[in-house]
Every structure is written in C-alpha cells, then in structure tokens.
C-alpha cells in the first residue's frame, strides 16, 4: 500500500468515524439533556458497559489481532481465505451465544462485580434490568466485527467504518421520538440498542457478500488454522480484557459517588472523538498494511508506513490534547450544559476532560504501536505490558481516591496510558528498522508540538478575553464555533510555516480518497 493510498485509507475510515462521533455527540447531548447525570444515567452507563466490555474482549481484541492478519495473508496469497473466515464465523457465533446466555442468567453478579457501589440502592436493580436488555448487542457486534475485518483486509474500509454510524442514528431517533411522544426516554434508549446491533450486522454481512466473500454460519470445524488463530487470539483477548478491567476499576471507584459515572462517561465521549477519528482509523488501516509488507520482507516499507501513520496521527491528536487541556470548560458547557445537565455538572465533566486530554496522545500511540506486534502474530508481549498498566491503573485509582475523590480513575487511566506506550516502544526495538521512526518523523514531531502550543496560547487568550460570550445563551454557540475555527487556522498556519506538515500532502490524499 503506497503512502498516498495509506493516507487515503486513513481518511476514508476517519471520515466515517468522524460522522459516527458527531452523531455520537448528538446522542450524548440528548442523553445528558433529557436524562442528565444521576442515578438513571449511572445505571444505563454501567449496563451498556457490560456488552461493550465483552465486545472488545471477543471482537476488537481477538479478531483485530488474530483474524485480520491471518485472513489478509491468505487473501493476498490466493489461498482459501473464505473457508477460513466461514469457520471462524461459526466458532465465534457459538462462543458468543454461550456467553450471552450465561450473562443473562448471572447478570446480578456481573453488576455487583463491575459497579459494587450500586449495591444496596435502587441503581442496582435498575442496572440488572437494563443489562439483560442490552447484553445481546454483543452477539450482533462480535459477528459484525468479523465481517468488518474481512472488508478491511480486502481494502474495503468504507462500509465497515460506516456501520457504527447506525447505532447513533437509531439511538438519536429513538430518544427524539420518545421525547415527542412524552414517553420515558431512557427505556426507549435501552431497547433500541440490540435493534441497532442487528442493523449493523446486516450492513457488513451484505457488503461482504457483494465483495465476493460469502459467509454463512455452519457447524464449527477444528483445523490447524483455527488452532493458530486461537493461539494468537487468546493473549490478544486477554490484553483487551485488561484494558476493560481498567475501565471497570474506574467504574468501581466512581460508583461510590452518585453522578460520577455519568461525569466520566460524558468526558470519555468528548475525548473519544479524536481518539476514534485518528487512532482507531490509523490502527484499522495500518494493521493489514503492515501484515502484507512484513510477509513480503519489506522492512523499509513497513518503517515508512509506521512513520507516516505516527506523523499523521500525532499531527491531529496533539492539538486536540492541548485544546482539552487549556479550554475544557467552554467545550463542555456548549456541548452538554442544558436541560438536566447543570453548570456544576459541566464543571465536573471539564475537569475530567482536561485530565483525559493529557493522556490522549498516549491512547493514540497505543493504537500505532500494537499493530507492530500483532502483524508479527505476537500478542503475548502487549498482554504482559497491559498487565503492568492494569496494576498501575488499579493502584492509582484506589490509592488516589481518598485524595482526589471520583477524579482518581481519570488520572489513573492517563498515567497508565503513558506507561503502556513506554513499554510498547521499548519492546518494539526488537523488530529492528521496521519499528523505528524515520528521520522525517523525528524532524517534524517537534514542529508539530510547537505549532500546537502556539494554537493553545491563542485559544486561552481568546477564552480569557471573551469569557462571558461562552456562557451567554445563544451567543455561546457562535463563540465556540469561532474559537474552533480560529484555533484550526492558527494551528495549520503555524504548522505550515514551521514545516510541521505540508497541506498539499493532505489535499492530495483527500482528492484521491473514495
């Protein structure tokens, strides 16, 4: 995959992920406005985290790390990739079906393990009820992840990237309809989630059929390929599971303060915008490209792909992190402060956004370094590093709680994120030139940082100079729009002048993007 095609893939996935995140913002704005931080939203967030936790365990963890590289190699070599994918589909469907049945039976235990602070108050029973409704979502999403992997491996990124948009379309529509009908919004929100899962699976399944990879569930067969995939997938699933344990630890700590889970949830959704658009898009495109290059013995090409992906990702994520750090309150206030969400809620969310902002480059760098290991079918090393990060996260979450209260999980996640990046970078040295950042990256990264700092200074000056406008009804939307536009102009202008990047490169990639 040539550099221009690689960036084109980033932009394709990034566009659809951006659309999903924008619609996700509409969803979160409706949730916080119509439901608001508190017991009800705490229960929904805790319930919905359960299928998402296991989804990352089975789908994004195991299959992105194991299935995609193996399928890509078979597809490129002209081997029977379809038979391998169909057997993987059948095995995954059976495993997730059993998991779903067990979770429905033992839901009270799952809620206690993940939100122990709810026990003894009404939030516990409400969360159990919500959990039993939303948990089947994992079945549809796990199968959708496999079909998305097939599409990504064959270079068809658009449909797989577009599928998550449906969840936000369905939830926004359901909440809007419930509001106008005068019905309980949160009940409609809970029930529409499994429906959206069915729609997402249908979309990628049909797209895979049209791409010539026709898969149908059958009785699973144990083969050497399945054994190899399982060998690679188990450590990857465990590594992803460790990351989810970090979230659960944070939820356990936050569950002791009513509303804290809601505040962290809102902050998480805000910083997930650049993380999703940049980090996940780069990771999805980079993994199959690295797999192909390494199979062909093209170490210099792998180094170029890794360096360009890192440069592209950090050029967009570092200014986002600076913005979250210097002007979190106007961002949060304009996005969320309305209806059931008060000014005090907005202030709490802003503190969490600033802390997460410090960790944003680390969360994105993890998405860049992990494919270096996964493309070589090495999932054990990231798992070991994740265990250390989990220990750091747990120690800081519980240790800092007496000092900083509910904000401890955000601080712990940020520190653990940077620790994970350090371990991945040191571990990747064994891969030689393919895992080394090239001279162009080393030259440009400092200029990117300087351009971002200049932008940060401009944002802070504008906010302090026109502070009242950001909290004035009606005017605050225009004020935030101007702040974002001016920040973008300052950053890209400074970056162009300093030589941090060339806008002509981005324009060429954009013109060639499908």
**What confidence tens digit (pLDDT) does each residue in 17-53 have?**
667 777 877 888 888 888 888 888 889 989 998 888 7
Please provide the size of the chain in residues: 514
CB distance 411 to 399 below 8 Å: no
All residue ranges of the chain with pLDDT < 70 are 1-18, 56-65, 76-80, 155-157, 225, 235-243, 276-292, 294-297, 434-435, 503-514
DSSP string, 68-127: HHHHHHHHHHTS-HHHHHHHHHHHHHHHHHHHHHHHHHTHHHHHHHH-GGGTTSTHHHHH
In order of 54, 91, 247, 315, the CA distances from 144 in angstroms are 14, 14, 23, 31
Contact 87, 221 (CB under 8 A): yes
Q: What is the per-residue pLDDT for 277?
A: 66
Sign of CA dihedral 480, 481, 485, 486: negative
Q: Residue 509: its pLDDT value, please?
A: 45
Contact present, 403 and 352 (Cβ < 8 Å): no
Identify the pLDDT of residue 14.
Answer: 59
Whether 475 is covered by a domain: the verdict is: no
What pLDDT sits at residue 68? 73
Q: Are 53 and 113 in contact (CB under 8 A)?
A: no
Answer whether residue 513 is part of any domain: no
Measured CA to CA, the distance from residue 162 to residue 284 in angstroms comes to 13
Q: At what angle are helices 107-114 and 39-55 packed, to 10 degrees? A: 100
Of 451, 472, 446, 466, residue with least CA distance to 327: 466
The domain total for the chain is 1
Share of the chain residues as helix, strand and coil, in percent rounded to the nearest 5: 85, 0, 15
In a domain? residue 96: yes
Q: Residue 257 belongs to what domain range?
A: 3-437
Inside any domain, residue 208 = yes
Do the domain assignments include residue 506? Answer: no
Within-domain flag for 191: yes
Closest residue by Cα to residue 435 from 447, 427, 443: 427
Q: Does 494 reside within a domain?
A: no
Instruction: State the residue for tokens 């994105």.
Output: 364
Q: Which two tokens stand for residue 143?
A: 């199968």
Q: Give the C-alpha separation, 193 to 111, whole Å.
A: 19
Give the span between the Cα atoms of 46 and 65, in whole angstroms: 27
211-222 residues labelled b (16+ CB within 10 A) or e (exposed): eebebeeeebee
Q: Is residue 55 a contact partner of residue 319, using CB atoms and an 8 Å limit?
A: no
pLDDT (tens digit, 9 = 90+) per residue, 434-471? 667 778 888 889 999 999 999 999 999 999 989 888 88
How high is the pLDDT of residue 514?
42
Q: Is the torsion defined by CA of 112, 116, 120, 121 positive or negative?
A: negative
């Amino acid at each position: 995959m040539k550099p221009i095609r690689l960036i084109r893939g980033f932009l394709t996935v990034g566009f659809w992920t951006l659309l999903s995140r924008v619609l996700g913002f509409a969803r979160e704005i409706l949730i916080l406005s119509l439901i608001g931080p508190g017991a009800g939203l705490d229960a929904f967030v805790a319930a919905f985290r359960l299928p998402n936790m296991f989804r990352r365990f089975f789908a994004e963890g195991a299959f992105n790390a194991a299935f995609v590289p193996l399928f890509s190699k078979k597809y490129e070599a002209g081997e029977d990739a379809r038979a391998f994918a169909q057997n993987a589909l059948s095995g995954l469907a059976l495993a997730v079906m059993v998991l779903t049945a067990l979770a429905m039976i033992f839901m009270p235990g799952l809620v206690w393990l993940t939100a122990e602070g709810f026990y003894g108050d009404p939030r516990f029973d409400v969360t159990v009820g919500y959990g039993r409704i939303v948990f089947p979502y994992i079945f549809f999403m796990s199968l959708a992840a496999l079909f998305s992997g097939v599409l990504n491996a064959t270079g068809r990124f658009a449909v797989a990237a577009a599928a998550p948009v449906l969840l936000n379309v369905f939830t926004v529509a359901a909440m809007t309809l419930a509001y106008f009908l005068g019905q309980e919004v949160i009940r409609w929100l809970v029930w529409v989630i499994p429906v959206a899962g069915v729609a997402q699976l249908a979309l990628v399944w049909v797209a895979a059929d049209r791409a010539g990879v026709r898969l149908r569930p059958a009785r699973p067969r144990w083969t050497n390929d399945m054994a190899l995939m399982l060998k690679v997938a188990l450590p990857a699933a465990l590594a992803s599971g460790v990351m989810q344990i970090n979230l659960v630890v944070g939820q356990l700590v936050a569950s002791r303060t009513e509303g804290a889970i809601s505040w962290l949830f809102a902050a998480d959704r805000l910083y997930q915008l650049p993380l999703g658009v940049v980090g996940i898009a780069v990771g999805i495109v980079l993994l199959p490209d690295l797999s192909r290059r390494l199979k062909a013995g093209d170490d210099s090409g792998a180094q170029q792909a890794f360096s360009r992906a890192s440069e592209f990702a950090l050029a967009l994520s570092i200014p986002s992190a600076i913005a979250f750090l210097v002007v979190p309150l106007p961002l949060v206030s304009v996005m969320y402060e309305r209806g059931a969400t008060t000014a005090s809620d907005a202030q709490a969310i802003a503190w969490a956004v600033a802390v997460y902002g410090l960790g944003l480059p680390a969360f994105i760098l993890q998405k860049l370094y992990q494919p270096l290991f996964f493309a070589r079918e090495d999932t054990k090393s990231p798992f070991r590093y994740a265990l250390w990060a989990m220990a750091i996260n747990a120690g800081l979450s519980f240790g800092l709680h007496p000092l900083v209260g509910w904000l401890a999980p955000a601080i712990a996640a940020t520190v653990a994120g940077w620790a994970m990046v350090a371990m991945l970078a040191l571990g990747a040295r064994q891969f030689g030139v393919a895992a080394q950042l090239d001279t162009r990256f080393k030259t440009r990264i400092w200029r990117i940082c300087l351009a971002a700092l200049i932008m940060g200074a401009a944002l802070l000056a504008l906010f302090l100079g026109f502070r009242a406008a950001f909290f004035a009804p009606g005017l605050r939307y225009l004020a935030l729009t101007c702040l974002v536009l001016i920040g973008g102009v300052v950053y890209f202008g400074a970056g162009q002048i300093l030589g941090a990047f060339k806008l002509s490169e981005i324009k060429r990639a954009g013109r060639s993007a499908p």
